[in-house]
Chains A and B, each alone.
Chain A
Amino acid sequence: MNVRLYILQRATAALMVPLIAVHIAVIFYATRKGLSAADILGRTRGSIVWALYYGVFVLAAAVHAAIGVRSVAIEWGRLARSAADLFMWAFGVTLLVLGLRAVAAVVLP
């Protein structure tokens, strides 16, 4: 962990605090109102706001988690720095691809 990774991880954590709050509020809203999958897709498809919201969320989560698992890999997995860096990138890109696919599935018209 160096200062660049530290700032990236803390900044994405701070960014995700309001995003998580809204995300949880939306889940409560959708379940309490009994929205069906079709209702939800009707609101998210073609929505630039939801695309941006979850796009940024996925990016922040991928960066934040990848830096975290790098530290776990070094400290508990005893990986060398180069191997841990590779693991960080692979983990982050995997999260990003999976996340963006999920966002695309609900926002693309």
Chain B
Amino acid sequence: MSAAPGDTIEVSVWRGKDAGRYQTFTVPLQASQTVLDIVTWIQRNADPTLAYRFACRVGVCGSCAMTVNGVPRWTCRTHVAKVTGSGKLEIGPLANLSVIKDLATDMAPFFEQWQRAHGRFVPSQTRADALAVVNPESPERRAASEAIECINCGVCYAACDTVRWNDAYMGPAALNRAWTLVNDVRDAGNSARLAAVAADGGCHNCHSHQSCEQLCPTALNPTASIAGLKRRTMQAYIRRELQP
């Protein structure tokens, strides 16, 4: 669909909190228009009370994820023309998170899972030590590199069936982050981290549906990271290094 001057599109936008409704706006189409452009046009020209979240507009900050025609996407890098094949555009808040207002969800539970999964670096050296040398070709560094470009957007969390079904599940992003740290040779927190992700709600709850892998904006594969955690925690359990 290429936009001609004067073309418009009907856009349904979620209004309210968890209980709310879709409101329809008529928005002018432009060439190379993104879904975030649409939302911004509505807020600036049609209804300034529309609440949504964005920062960088170029796919780096991870704050503008929304549900676009039923699918979680990063709206700043999602072209309208690519998602409106049916001619309709419906924009809602991310699933699996409670709605603060309109398109803004409460991301706190998402980031709390990162803490539960020990998704923070635990230094093994001090600033007085020499810089650690990490061979970029080592298996650990390669495994970490494959999983490291997460922008914390929450698309995988919203796409995950297991997150929807299982309140205790940490979700793809937090477990993917834990996997990068498991492979960080400088990190000293792995015994506690492996125990955390091997407990109830951890990596073993994943059903490998791979929605995270399919929809991750930065083309990461959290399912593969979680499979890595399953292997690593099984080894640790069999060696009696961790007690669930």
Contacts and interface: CB of A to CB of B under 8 A. Distances in A.
Interface string B203-244: 011000000000000000000000000100110011000101
A4 interface: yes
Given A1-B205, A2-B198, A2-B202, A74 B237 contact: no
Contact of B244 (A2, A75, A81): A2
B27 interface: no
B106 interface: no
A29 interface: no
Contacts of B205: 1, 71
Contacts of A75: 162, 165-166
A74 B242 CA distance: 25
B9 interface: no
Nearest to B198: A3
B175 to A, nearest CB: 13
A4 B199 CA distance: 9
Interface residues of A, number: 12
B200 interface: yes
**A-side interface mostly:** helix
Interface residues of B, number: 17
B244 A3 contact: yes
Contacts of A28: none
B199 to A, nearest CB: 5
B122 to A, nearest CB: 21
Nearest to B168: A81
A53 to B, nearest CB: 26
A5 B201 CA distance: 12
Main secondary structure of the interface of B (DSSP, over half): helix
Contact of A2 (B162, B165, B199, B238): B199
A1 B244 CA distance: 10
Contact of B237 (A1, A7, A71, A81): A7
Nearest to A74: B166
B200 A6 contact: no
A98 B107 CA distance: 48
A3 B234 contact: yes
A1 B165 contact: no
Given A1-B204, A1-B205, A81-B200, A6 B234 contact: yes
B200 A2 contact: yes
Contact of B200 (A1, A7, A76): A1
Nearest to B233: A3
Contacts of B199: 2-3
> Lowest 8 CB-CB distances: which A-B pairs, in order?
A75-B165, A3-B198, A6-B204, A2-B244, A1-B204, A3-B237, A3-B233, A1-B205
Given A2-B198, A3-B237, A3-B244, 11 more contacts: A1-B204, A2-B199, A2-B200, A3-B234, A3-B242, A5-B204, A6-B204, A71-B205, A74-B165, A74-B166, A75-B162
